[in-house]
Structure 1
Amino acid sequence: MDARTWLITGVSSGFGREMTERLLRRGDRVAGTVRRMEVMDDLRAEYGDRLWLARLDLTDGAAIGAVVDRAFADLGRIDVVVNNAGYGLFGAAEELTDEQIVHQIDTNLLGSIRVVRAALPHLRRQGGGRLIQLSTYGGQATNAGASAYHASKWGIEGFMESTAKDVAPFGIGVTIVEPGSARTRFRDGSSRLATPLSAYDDSPAALTRGIRDPALPSVGDVAKTAAAILGCADLDPAPVRVALGSDSYTHIHKALTGRLAELEAGRDLAFSTDADTDARAGAA
């Protein structure tokens, strides 16, 4: 397989770091974004100009376009764009501040949207490419105490699924990846917690207060998951969604099965609100 060039957001740790190391080892080029450049000094020293780096905060909308444009200009062609950067915000809806919610949506949803919008003109001009969006099983299923996080992930999944239909004629494939739990520092590193309210002490939302506990089990293997994410770029046609991890599959399957049952239970009500046949014919 010929060497590819990848643009990956958030390469300093977790899946982003693991993917970057794997790609560089096999001879690919990576354009990576970080918030602190020095955390990549070891890889820059080892791989030289095959690792292109830029400082980027996904809440800085103007900077996103400039960084993506510069990456394409410097590297000539980028084959795969991976929206990996993001974090989790946990707490009951009432416990969250407006500022916390805005930052979560700005980062996970609007930041990812801006990366895609900045990359699309380049991908169209070069005749195609791939977009891979990191989501979570929480983009299809929900847990108590994660309303803002789920809002960001359900939102980006809707955006990416619709965008996949927009860009298919240009040879651009889109895949949403939904990993389960894995030890990536997501829980005990990047995650942020709301200030607890005593009213929720005995509610299901209170379970998220212990999300940083290192004793919490993780099902997924980081290396295997990163390899599977990269492998999505080789699948033709590009699958719209890929669940990774038995916990992800189980949570999503349960959620979709339950939603389908609720939909079927409401079928008669749904059809009862249609206009009468004669009325529809008259309107036409």
Structure 2
Amino acid sequence: MPSTWFITGTSTGFGRLLVEELLGRGDRVAATLRKPEALDDLQAEHGDRLWVGRLDVTDTEQVRKVVDDAFQELGTIDVVVNNAGHGVFASVEEATDEQIRQVVDTNLMGSIHVIRAALPHLRAQGRGRILQVSTAGGQATYPNFGYYHASKWGIEGFCETVAREIAPFGIGLTIVEPGATPTGFGGSLATAPIMPEYENTPAGDVRRALADGSFTLPNDPRKIAKAMIELVDTGAVPLRLPLGSDTYRDVRAALVARLAEHDEHREVALSVERD
């Protein structure tokens, strides 16, 4: 039976691929993006199975209106995908205040507001799925991505809480963590003037790795989009879905190191309890 999906950030990357895959198999899609004309080719091909809405997720009032309109016009939405994202590639000191604000407003606050706008509708239905697109950088870290990590670690903490709160309503939430993938996202990263003080630091090493191509992008973006769809089809609702060998490797290493350090402080942790 065809399903209906609501997806943000559909002009390129995972969002566009999800739209293509879903329409190709006969589903309906509410696709939102800042420039709706980017989907004119799919609109012409698929007609009323593609509902297109202009949406900048940093505009809270617009988020509420577009989500409400999509549910009202389509009746039922089975899956909500928070995919819109923005990144800045710079060391902590290099990024501007405006760049920091844009990353947090898009990746963290924008995703929060989409979920908040959708929940009343999903509760009224008594069912639904939310897929929050995060990244390996939602649990692991890489130099020059500090503000991107701040937004992704933040949305993962928010979503982990939300998942527990909404489960009684028949709504499932999964955090999707793709690894490094050639989606064009890297080319859209905001940058800042380079401070020479960081040249011979890990930040400089990562900058050079991206420039010379040694920072690899091992994952297939269409396979990732298909894996997200297949997860929903199975009915499974894991809290997190790692996608990519680099995600599996890096997140696992981060978790193991974090647990080892955590255990090192067991005695001091217990020592501060009240007598």
Same fold (TM over 0.5): yes
Number of the residue aligned with 2:160: 161
Q: How far apart, in 2, do the equivalents of 1:209 and 1:58 lie?
A: 29
* Local SS of the residue matching 2:93: helix
Counterpart residue type for residue 90 of structure 2: G
Number of the residue aligned with 1:130: 129
User: Is the contact between residue 80 and residue 131 of structure 1 (CA under 8 Å) also seen in structure 2?
Assistant: yes
Superposed displacement of residue 241, structure 1: 0.2
Q: Deviations over 1:193-220 (max 9, x none)?
A: 1221111111111244457648342110
Shift in alpha-carbon separation, 1:210–1:73, aligned structure 2, 3 A: farther
Alignment of 1:183-262 (within 5 A): 183-188=182-187, 190-209=188-207, 213=211, 215=213, 216-262=215-261
Shift in alpha-carbon separation, 1:119–1:210, aligned structure 2, 3 A: farther
Q: Deviations over 1:16-41 (max 9, x none)?
A: 11110000010000001111111111
Number of the residue aligned with 1:15: 14
How many percent of aligned residue pairs carry the same amino acid? 53
4+ aligned runs moved over 3 Å, structure 1 = 207-216
Number of the residue aligned with 2:101: 102
Q: Deviations over 1:108-152 (max 9, x none)?
A: 000000000000000000111000000000000001111100000
Number of the residue aligned with 2:267: 268
Number of the residue aligned with 2:176: 177
Shift in alpha-carbon separation, 1:16–1:211, aligned structure 2, 3 A: farther
Alignment of 1:76-115 (within 5 A): 76-115=75-114
Q: Deviations over 1:214-261 (max 9, x none)?
A: 834211011111100112213434100010000000000000000000
User: Is the contact between residue 187 and residue 211 of structure 1 (CA under 8 Å) also seen in structure 2?
Assistant: no
* Local SS of the residue matching 1:143: coil
Query: Which has the higher mean CA deviation after the structures are superposed, 207-216 or 67-76?
Result: 207-216
Superposed displacement of residue 62, structure 1: 1.1
Counterpart residue type for residue 9 of structure 1: T
* Local SS of the residue matching 1:93: coil
Count the aligned residue pairs: 274
Q: How far apart, in 2, do the equivalents of 1:16 and 1:170 lie?
A: 27
Q: Deviations over 1:36-74 (max 9, x none)?
A: 111111000000010101111111111101000000011
- Is 1:151–2:125 an aligned residue pair? no
Number of the residue aligned with 1:282: none
Q: How far apart, in 2, do the equivalents of 1:55 and 1:210 lie?
A: 37
* Local SS of the residue matching 1:64: helix
RMSD: 1.3
Q: How far apart, in 2, do the equivalents of 1:185 and 1:62 lie?
A: 29
Shift in alpha-carbon separation, 1:250–1:242, aligned structure 2, 3 A: same
Q: How far apart, in 1, do the equivalents of 2:205 and 2:178 lie?
A: 21
Shift in alpha-carbon separation, 1:217–1:167, aligned structure 2, 3 A: same
Counterpart residue type for residue 59 of structure 1: T
Query: Which has the higher mean CA deviation after the structures are superposed, 214-223 or 190-199?
Result: 214-223
Q: How far apart, in 2, do the equivalents of 1:76 and 1:214 lie?
A: 49
* Local SS of the residue matching 1:94: coil
Q: Give the structure with higher Rg (CA).
A: 1
Q: How far apart, in 2, do the equivalents of 1:87 and 1:248 lie?
A: 19
Note the residue ranges of structure 2 that are not aligned, 5 or more in a row. Answer: none
Number of the residue aligned with 2:23: 24
Counterpart residue type for residue 60 of structure 1: D
Counterpart residue type for residue 161 of structure 2: S
- TM-score, normalised to structure 1, is 0.94
Superposed displacement of residue 13, structure 1: 0.6
Counterpart residue type for residue 28 of structure 1: D
Counterpart residue type for residue 128 of structure 1: R
User: Is the contact between residue 91 and residue 206 of structure 1 (CA under 8 Å) also seen in structure 2?
Assistant: no
Shift in alpha-carbon separation, 1:212–1:186, aligned structure 2, 3 A: farther
